[in-house]
Amino acid sequence: MLVNNMRVITGIKDMRSVSKEARMSGKTVGLVPTMGFLHEGHLSLIRAAAGECGFVAVSVFVNPTQFGEGEDLESYPRDLERDTGLAEEAGADVVFAPGVEEMYPDGAGTVVHAPPGLTGVLCGRSRPGHFTGVATVVLKLFNIVAPDRAYFGRKDAQQCAVVKRMVRDLDVPVEIKVMPVVREKDGLAMSSRNTYLSPEGRSTARAVHKALRKAEEMVCSGILSADEVKAGMYKILNKAEGLEVEYIEIVDPETMEARSDAGANALIAVAARVGGTRLIDNILVSSEQWMVSDRRRGVGNDE
Amino acid sequence: MLVNNMRVITGIKDMRSVSKEARMSGKTVGLVPTMGFLHEGHLSLIRAAAGECGFVAVSVFVNPTQFGEGEDLESYPRDLERDTGLAEEAGADVVFAPGVEEMYPDGAGTVVHAPPGLTGVLCGRSRPGHFTGVATVVLKLFNIVAPDRAYFGRKDAQQCAVVKRMVRDLDVPVEIKVMPVVREKDGLAMSSRNTYLSPEGRSTARAVHKALRKAEEMVCSGILSADEVKAGMYKILNKAEGLEVEYIEIVDPETMEARSDAGANALIAVAARVGGTRLIDNILVSSEQWMVSDRRRGVGNDE
C-alpha cells in the first residue's frame, strides 16, 4: 500500500521480507518504533536513523497492552496519512502500521517482564503493567523487523531503561540508540499527548520545563542534594495552578534506583497532570562537571 | 576450544559470529537446546537437525533459573567431554556451553512469561517458575544462535507448548520442530534424570510406560472418556510400589487445557516420583482414528 508515496506495510510477513531484502542487499536496518501522530521528537529519531542506516522502518502502532484501564487508548491521536508524509520527509523507507489483530491474534498471552525494580517506580507506579506492554511490543517489533539499530527518545527515560535492560538480559541482537528530548520553543517536551492540552493547560504545562531548568541551575551552582533540588522544583510546580505533580524523582538512568544526590549522571524526572493530560519530562546531568546534558535556552531544538 | 575434535564455544559473542558466518555462507542453522548429559533422545534431535540444516549448534547449559528450591540443580548430571563426543557423532557442528555468569551477568532480571493457563498446570503446578526459566533461557538461546529451526523432544510436552506459544506470541523468527519421545527397550522414556534411579527404582519406573500403554489400548478399543482412561492408568500406577503419581492429565497439546475425552489429538501425560526421582512421560493420540502416534512395542526406538 502506498500512502503519500510512502510504502505502508500492515502484515508481519511482508515486513519481515522487506526488511530481510534490505539486509540481504547489505543495508543496515534501522527501526524507529512509534505510536504515530509524529512530532519533531519522532522526526529527529527518523533523521538520526536515516543518517546511520541504509534502510529505515518506522513502526506506527498504538499498542493497546501498554494502556491501563481508564487511560487514553481510544482517544490517543491517530493520523496515518499525515504520519507517512512526515516519515518520508524525515528519511524513512517504509512505515509498518499493523492492526491490533495482526499483532495480537487470539489475544496472544506471552509477555516480557523487566525487573520490578525498574518497572515498579516512577511512571510504573501509576501505570501498572505499562512497561510489560512496552517491553513485549518492542520485542515483537524487534523480532519482526530484525533491526541492527533501534531509536528511542529520552523523554521516555524509563522506557529507554526498560528496553535497554531487556535487550541486555535477553541477548537481543540490536543496538539501542537513545536520543535527546526535543522541545517546543518554550521548553515543553514534544509529545503526541500535548494535543490534549487546552490553551490554558498548554500555558500551565510550561512549569514542568521551568522546574527542570531550576534543577539545572541548582546543580550547576553546586547544589547536589537530591532533596534540595526536588524542593526547589516543587516550589515552582506547586505554584502552577491546575498542575498536579505525580512525581519528581532523581534516579540512576539505567537502574531507576533513587539517588540521594543530583550529581554526575543523575536523571531528574518529572510527571505531572494538567487537566486530564499526563506530561512527563526529564533532564540528565552530564557525567562531567555536573553539566546538564540537554540544557536549553528556549531557542528551539538545538540539542 | 576443541574437545573431542568438536568446537566448544563458551562466549555469547563467539557463538553469534560463528552462527552468523554459517548463515552468511547460505547454510540453514539448526539449534538443539539441551542441559547436556546427552542420551539417545537428544541424539535423535541432533540427527534430525543435521539431516535438515547445514549447520547444527547443540547448546549444553544446565539453566539454574528453571530449577526450583530443593530441586536437583547441583546434582544434575554433567559431562561435557562425553557430550561433545556424542554430539559430534550425531552430526553437530559446534557445542555452545556457556557458563552461568555468561548467561546471567549480574543476575539479569528480565523474564518471559507464557500465559498462566499454559504454565500453571501439569508440571507447572509442582514447579512454579520452571516454565518462566525455560521460556527465558530458550529465547536467549534463540537470540544468540539465531537458528532457522530449533528441535525439542515431545517428552517435555508442556515445554514444547510453552516454547511454541512464546515463538508465536513474540514473533520469534524460528521454526519449532517437536520430535517423538525416545524410549529405552522396556519403554522408559529417555531422560538424563534416569541415572538417579536405583536398580529397584529403574524397575518400578517401567510402570509409567505401562500405564501409557494401557491408555493406548483403551483408546484404540474405543474407550474415550478421559476419566475412564485415567482410572485405568491409576490402577497400574497405584500397584507400583515406591511410585507416587504426581498427575495424570489428558489435555490439548497446544493449550494444556484439560479435555474430557482422550480422542483425536489428546495428550495423555503422566508425572510420577520413584524414590527421589521425578519422571515424566506422555503419548499423543493421533488425529486419525485415535491411533496413538508413538505406540511402541518394546523393541527399541522405532518411532
| Residues ≥6 apart with Cβ < 8 Å to A221 | none
- Nearest chain B alpha carbon to A12: B171
pLDDT-derived band at B300 (thresholds 50, 70, 90) equals very low
User: Do the chains contact at B140 and A110, CB–CB below 8 Å?
Assistant: no
Please state the rounded mean pLDDT for residues B34-54: 98
Cβ neighbours of B173 in A, within 8 Å: 16, 143, 146
- Statement: residue A201 has pLDDT above 80: yes
Using alpha carbons, list the distances in angstroms from residue B19 to B23, B98, B144, B157, B170.
6, 15, 9, 28, 22
The single-letter DSSP state of residue B301 is S
Question: How many beta-carbon pairs under 8 angstroms link A with B?
Answer: 69
Confidence of residue B297 (pLDDT cuts 50, 70, 90): very low
Beta-sheet strands, E only, within chain A: 2-3, 6-9, 29-34, 55-60, 94-96, 111-113, 149-153, 175-179, 243-251, 267-274, 277-284
Bridge partners (DSSP) of residue B67 are: none
Residues A90/A47, Cβ–Cβ less than 8 Å = yes
The pLDDT score that the predictor gives to residue A288 is: 59
The pLDDT of residue A303 is: 36
Cα of A177 to nearest chain B Cα, Å: 19
Architecture of the CATH domain A192-296 = 2-Layer Sandwich (3.30)
Write the DSSP assignment of A79-111 as a string of letters.
-HHHHHHHHHHHT-SEEE---HHHHSGGG---E
Query: What is the per-residue pLDDT across A128-160, written as a single tens digit (0 to 9) for each?
Result: 999 999 999 999 999 999 999 999 999 999 999
Q: What was the ipTM of the complex prediction?
A: 0.93
Q: Is residue B184 over pLDDT 60? A: yes
A283 neighbors A158 (Cβ within 8 angstroms): no
User: Reduced to 3 states, what is the DSSP secondary structure of residue B278?
Assistant: strand
Q: State the amino acid at position A191 in one-letter form.
A: S
At residue A177, the pLDDT reads 98
Instruction: Assess contact for A254 and A161: CB atoms under 8 A.
Output: yes
Q: CATH for B2-179? A: 3.40.50.620
Biggest CA–CA distance in chain A, Å, is: 57
Res. A292 pLDDT band, cuts 50 70 90 = low
Helix axes B130-145, B12-24, angle to 10 degrees: 50
Report the pLDDT value the prediction gives residue B4, as an integer from 0 to 100. 73
Q: Indicate the DSSP class of residue A76.
A: S
**Largest pairwise CA distance in chain B:** 57
Cβ of A16 under 8 Å from any chain B Cβ?
yes
pLDDT band at B298 (very low <50, low <70, confident <90, very high): very low
**Is residue B119 less than 8 Å (CB to CB) from chain A?**
no
B291 band by pLDDT with thresholds 50, 70 and 90: low
**Residue-level length of chain A:** 303
In this prediction, residue A291 carries a pLDDT of 56
pLDDT at A4 over 90: no
C-alpha cell at A167: 535487550
Q: In angstroms, what is the C-alpha Rg of chain B?
A: 19
Which pTM was predicted?
0.94
Strands B55-60, B29-34: pairing is parallel
- Active-site residue A39, yes or no? no
For the segment A26-38, the average pLDDT, to the nearest whole number, is 98
- Name the closest residue on chain B to residue A112, using Cα atoms: B112
Say yes or no: B146 contacts chain A, CB-CB below 8 A: yes
Residue with grid cell 515486513, as numbered in its chain: A15
What mean pLDDT do residues B95-107 have?
94
Between chains, do B140 and A171 touch, taking CB under 8 Å as contact? yes
| Chain A contact for B135 (CB, 8 A cutoff) | yes
> Tens of pLDDT along A214-238?
999 999 999 999 999 999 999 999 9
| Interchain CB contact of A139 with B (< 8 Å) | yes
pLDDT in tens, B199-244: 999 999 999 999 999 999 999 999 999 999 999 999 999 999 999 9
Question: For residue A297, what pLDDT band results from cuts at 50, 70 and 90?
Answer: very low
Average pLDDT over residues A13-38: 98
Q: Best of B19, B121, B140, B171 to disrupt the A interface by mutation (most A CBs within 10 Å)? A: B171
- Mean pLDDT of all residues in B193-197: 96
The helix (H) or strand (E) run that includes residue B20 is helix B12-24
Q: Does residue B167 carry a pLDDT above 80? A: yes
In this predicted structure, the answer to whether residue A301 has a pLDDT above a threshold of 50 is no
- Chain B interface disruption, residue of A171, A175, A176, A256, most B CBs within 10 A: A171
At residue A257, does pLDDT exceed 90? yes
- Spatial separation of the C-alpha atoms in residues A81 and A68, rounded to whole Å: 27
- Concatenate the DSSP letters of all residues of B145-184 into one string: H--SEEEEEGGGHHHHHHHHHHHHHTT-S-EEEEE---B-
Write down the pLDDT at residue A289. 47
**With 0-12 CB in 10 A as exposed, 13-18 as middle and 19+ as buried, what is B75?**
exposed
C-alpha cell at B240: 507400583
Calculate the average pLDDT of chain B: 94
Per-domain boundaries in chain A: 2-179, 192-296
Mean predicted confidence (pLDDT) in B279-299: 68
Q: Residue B12, SS3?
A: helix
B4-39 exposure pattern, b = at least 16 Cβ within 10 A, e = fewer: bebbbbeebebbbebbeebbeeebbbbbbbbbbbbb
- Residue A294 is predicted with a pLDDT of 53
Report the pLDDT value the prediction gives residue B294, as an integer from 0 to 100: 54
Mean pLDDT across chain A: 94
pLDDT tens digit string along B62-85? Answer: 999 999 999 999 999 999 999 999
B46 touches chain A (CB under 8 A): no
Tens of pLDDT, residues A87-101: 999 999 999 999 999
Q: How far apart are CA B281 and CA A140, in angstroms?
A: 33
What's the mean pLDDT in B179-187? 97
